[in-house]
Amino acid sequence: MPPNLTLIVAATPKNGIGKNGALPWPMLKKEMAYFARVTKRVPKSQTSTEESAPKRNAVLMGSKTWSSIPPRFRPLKDRTNIIISSQDRTSLPGVTDEVIVSSSILAALQDLEASVEAGRVPAVGRVFVIGGARVYGDALGLECARSVLLTRLGREFECDTFFPELEGWVRRGRGELEEFVGEEVVEGGLVEEGVGYEFQLWER
């Protein structure tokens, strides 16, 4: 059985997530810090014991998302980075030896398991899907996609890329969100750079 997938995304009220390969809203430092903390944090139920090896979360993304990350931050620190691409790894910028490059999500999960067994990467905690739109859509079509961590922005921005509708998904309460992410979440959301937003958890 493949590991469960958690999609993590920031989107406008109409599900806009990007424009011209970048975020169309101002840099939201607290939102980005939340993304970093949550995608690094291995759930306590999965943290290592004396009998088991330390675990590390994985972040799975398309090649455009990988290329959009500033070179000094690639690969994303303290996480196993996985790129979905039809290109050979040698044609992708900044790919180090422990970055996994695969042709599809299911192939990536198999390659991840093989890399763990071979000792090339640590055992896996959670697997986060971090974009872009096509990878999100493919992930939502898989039964192993169980959770969506959505940062819902309070207003619209002009976008040319959109997150799929969460048909058949259920929004959970703040307590369940806090338990899932392992930290307190401000009730009513936050405001940065004149943009209000709220952290949400959706599950099948």
Quote the distance between the C-alpha of residue 102 and its chain's center. 17
Q: Tell me the C-alpha to C-alpha distance, in Å, between residue 164 and each of 9, 126, 177.
A: 11, 22, 21
3-state SS, residue 90: helix
Tell me, yes or no, if 31 is annotated catalytic: yes
3-state SS track over 102-155: ECCHHHHHHHHHHHHHCCCCCEEEEEEECCCHHHHHHHHCCCCEEEEEEEEECC
Yes or no: say if 9 and 165 are a contact pair by the CB < 8 Å rule: no
CA dihedral 91, 72, 182, 188 (to 10 degrees): -100
Close Cβ partners of 62 (under 8 Å, ≥ 6 residues apart):
83, 84, 85, 131, 132, 134, 135
Options 23, 92, 142, 166, the catalytic residue = 23
Options 28, 31, 76, 149, the catalytic residue = 31
Any idea which residues carry the catalytic annotation? Answer: 23, 31
